[in-house]
Amino acid sequence: MNKLSREVAIIGIGQTKFGENWDLSFRELGIQAGIEAIKDSGIESKVIDALYVGNMSAGLFMDQEHVASMVMEEVGLADRQVPATRVEAADASGALALRQGILDIASGHSNVVIVGGSEKVTDVTSDIASEFIMAGADRAWEGLFGASLPSLFALMARKHMHDFGTTREQLAQVAVKNHYNGARNPIAQFQREIDIDTVINANPIADPLGVFDCFPVSDGAAALVLCDMKTALEYCNDPVKIIGTGQGSDTISISNRKDITTIRSTVKAAERAYEMAGIGPSDIDVAEVHDSYTIAEILAIEDLGFFGKGEGGKAVEDGETALTGSIPINTSGGLKARGHPFGATGIAQINELVLQLRSKADGRQVNNVQKVLAQNLGGTGGTSLVHILEVA
């Protein structure tokens, strides 16, 4: 069917700083982001009908499942027994929570929904975290044979370099651009610029990827308030309308895919979102994409149709994806510089796009932003979600 029975809008956003937030627990992160989103929306919490939480691995990181119930209590919704639902698709959990919130409102069941994403990673050491991250890919058929998440993306990078002539410098330029943008984002984890040499000469992680080609260890939470369009117009003058939502899945292991330079789940999620919105890639003004590794951003901008197959590396090199380019990508700094607290990332992407649509992205604002797109990936592409927004 690929349509929704009711229009859905975003009326408020909230977010913690991303980074090594040693002093904040999972609960505290959730409270900060949730309360800020509620305040930004202008609603009272008593009108909230449901809560959705995107979280990747609280079970592994904190020995704690059932976190939606916990967050619901912390943001003060326990007295009304507000339904609280956790969804998970590795590091695409945030966008998945958004999608379930959209479907809940479109179904006619809820009017006002709060959607959050959160992850507390620094309760474990970073070597243990690296191990746990592999739970988003295929543990039995990849992890047990020694593959790590960066090594799987390194395979994709090597193949892309081989097939299309993508260069090490082009990969590095993704990180350079995202750090440039992050330096202009006051809630980014890394607010400093880096140069290409720094990326290329950094400690190797999985050849050709070095430490600056990879997302950092981040704690953080992000939240937003969704409602049906009629309710939205009661609370705010500039609601952001969700005009497309698309989700696609693929095999969890990359060994069962015919082609590792295309993420089919992203191609299909984008196709579904564009179809629902009735637009195409050339209509998008700004996009946040899932640059867990530099190669992932190059694959994303091709799979989303912004550039032809194999042309992503050159587009980055030519500055097409820079703030002043034809399609600015990851104005927030992306996963690389804004940070990547897994479950929070999909919501943080949306929050940045809402700021761009509201012309409130300060030093990184793009001119005349009308339509924006977010793409959030789980693991190596077992899940991908694409959302398209515009000012209502």
Task: Report d(CA 223, CA 252) in Å as an integer.
Answer: 27
Q: Dihedral of the CA atoms 45, 51, 56, 62 (nearest 10)?
A: 60
| Minimum CB–partner distance for residue 336 and a second copy (Å) | 22
* Per-residue x/- track, 24-43, a second copy (CB under 8 A): -x------------------
Decide whether 162 or 230 has the Cβ nearer to a second copy: 230
Structure tokens at 166: 């993508």
Q: How far apart are the C-alpha atoms of 343 and 35, rounded to whole Å?
A: 18
Cβ-contact 327, 288 below 8 angstroms: no
On the 0-12 / 13-18 / 19+ scale of CB atoms within 10 A, 173 is buried
* Residue linked to tokens 């369009």: 229
Q: Please provide the DSSP assignment of 148-191 as one string.
A: -HHHHHHHHHHHHHHHH---HHHHHHHHHHHHHHHTT-TT-S--
Site for a second copy in 75-114 (CB under 8 A): 77-78, 80-90, 96, 99-100, 102-104, 106-111
Interface pick for a second copy out of 166, 332, 351, 383 (rule CB under 8 A): 383
Beta strands 220-228 and 112-119, pairing class: antiparallel
Amino acid at 173: Q
Nearest Cα neighbor of 120 from 211, 220, 234, 251 is 220
If the CB atoms of residues 3 and 360 are measured against a second copy, the closer one turns out to be 3
Which residue number, 103 or 129, has a Cβ lying nearer to a second copy?
Answer: 103
Contacts to a second copy from residues 247-306, by CB under 8 A: 247-252, 256, 264-265, 267-269
Site map 222..251 versus a second copy, x via CB under 8 A: -------------------------xxxxx
Token pair belonging to 245: 């939502």
Q: Which of 56, 260, 304, 373 lies at the binding interface for a second copy (CB under 8 A)?
A: 56
Q: Which of residues 114-133 bind a second copy (CB under 8 A)?
A: 132
Interface pick for a second copy out of 28, 65, 283, 311 (rule CB under 8 A): 65
- Residues 147-206 contacting a second copy, CB under 8 A: none
Min dist CB 367 to a second copy, Å, is 34
Between residues 140 and 367, which has the closer beta carbon with respect to a second copy? 140
The reply on whether position 68 binds a second copy by CB under 8 A is yes
Paired residues of 249 in beta bridges:
383
Q: Does 63 bind a second copy (CB under 8 A)?
A: yes
State which of residues 20, 28, 73, 275 lies at the interface with a second copy (CB under 8 A): 73
